């Protein structure tokens, strides 16, 4: 079973808390995996040209194009994004919009697969994981677990610290750390990431019925759409 991990942070991997979290989850799963960062890729969101409707292939030619095969090849997904303004980063939003090509009649290319949603924010990322779950549901993919963790608020390392009257340090009274803190230095984050990875790996190893899962997700999507 192969898991494709996608990191939606625009920051370099070595300082991205999201990337570090996804990496640990994937390693803990015991499954074959690949982790791709969107940070250096240049691609747009869906342009609604509708040219994917007949054959389920997006016709925009950019850095998303080679990812299509990887998405189809994977058995499961780990989708992670930092929390930007209580939602996905624009990178991750554009990436997931392009999954519109998998939604048309007769597609079933990704339907019934499984996913885990991960979010990292300065103060948590629950809206991010909920957004990922909804995006997955549009492709009839079941989100089996969600992990939301606290990372490094940008206001802690912008350089102005408490001198900025509208920054988090001044508003909360929290001191800025000397260095960008490592998200995995927090034992609770490590513990939860390992748990999520192990559970995901065990679930995939056990096997499941993709057709039934796809039907379950069609029903789930209909209930979710009622809240839109």
Ligand X SMILES: Cc1cc2nc3c(=O)[nH]c(=O)nc-3n(C[C@H](O)[C@H](O)[C@H](O)COP(=O)(O)O)c2cc1C
Closer residue to ligand X (CB): 29 or 83: 83
Nearest Cα to 77, choosing from 135, 2, 189, 134? 2
- The widest CA-to-CA distance across the chain, in whole angstroms, is 57
CB 120 within 8 A of CB 182: no
Instruction: Indicate which single residue of 121, 167, 169, 201 sits in contact with ligand X (rule: CB under 6 A).
Output: 121
- Tokens for 224, please give them: 């979710």
Give CA separation, 29 vs 57, 87, 119, 147, 172, in Å: 30, 26, 18, 14, 37
Neighbours of 112 (CB within 10 A): 20
Is residue 122 at the binding interface for ligand X, with CB under 6 A as the rule? yes
The least CB distance from residue 180 to ligand X, in Å, is 8
Closer residue to ligand X (CB): 71 or 128: 128
Residue 57-86 contact track with ligand X, rule CB under 6 A, x = bound: -------------------------xxxxx
Is residue 181 at the binding interface for ligand X, with CB under 6 A as the rule? no
Instruction: Indicate which single residue of 18, 28, 29, 56 sits in contact with ligand X (rule: CB under 6 A).
Output: 18
The least CB distance from residue 100 to ligand X, in Å, is 25
Give CA separation, 15 vs 23, 54, 80, in Å: 13, 41, 15
Q: How far apart (Å, rounded) are the C-alpha atoms in residues 149 and 24?
A: 13
Closer residue to ligand X (CB): 10 or 30: 10
Is residue 120 at the binding interface for ligand X, with CB under 6 A as the rule? yes
* Dihedral angle, C-alpha 127, 129, 135, 141, nearest 10 °: -150
Instruction: Indicate which single residue of 5, 112, 153, 201 sits in contact with ligand X (rule: CB under 6 A).
Output: 153
- Tokens for 206, please give them: 């056990």
Instruction: Indicate which single residue of 3, 16, 97, 189 sits in contact with ligand X (rule: CB under 6 A).
Output: 16
Is residue 201 at the binding interface for ligand X, with CB under 6 A as the rule? no
Closer residue to ligand X (CB): 31 or 149: 149
Q: List residues binding ligand X (CB under 6 A).
A: 9, 11, 16-18, 82-86, 120-124, 151-154
């Amino acid at each position: 079973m192969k898991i494709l991990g996608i990191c939606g942070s625009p920051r370099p991997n070595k300082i991205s808390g999201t990337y570090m979290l996804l990496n640990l989850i994937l390693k803990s799963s015991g499954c074959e995996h690949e982790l791709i960062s969107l940070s250096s890729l240049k691609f747009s969101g869906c342009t609604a040209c509708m040219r994917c409707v007949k054959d389920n292939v997006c016709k925009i030619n950019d850095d998303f194009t080679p990812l299509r095969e990887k998405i189809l090849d994977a058995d499961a997904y780990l989708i992670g994004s930092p929390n930007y303004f209580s939602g996905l980063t624009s990178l991750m939003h554009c990436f997931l919009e392009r999954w519109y090509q998998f939604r048309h009649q007769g597609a079933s290319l990704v339907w019934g697969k499984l996913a885990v949603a991960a979010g990292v924010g300065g103060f948590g990322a629950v809206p991010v994981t909920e957004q990922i779950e909804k995006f997955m549901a549009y492709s009839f993919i079941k989100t089996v677990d969600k992990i939301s963790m606290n990372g490094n608020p940008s206001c802690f390392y912008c350089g102005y610290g408490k001198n900025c009257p509208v920054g988090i340090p001044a508003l909360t009274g929290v001191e800025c750390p000397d260095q960008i803190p490592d998200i995995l230095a927090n034992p609770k984050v490590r513990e939860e990431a390992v748990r999520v990875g192990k559970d995901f790996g065990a679930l995939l190893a056990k096997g499941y019925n993709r057709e039934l899962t796809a039907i379950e997700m069609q029903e789930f999507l209909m209930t979710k759409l009622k809240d839109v």
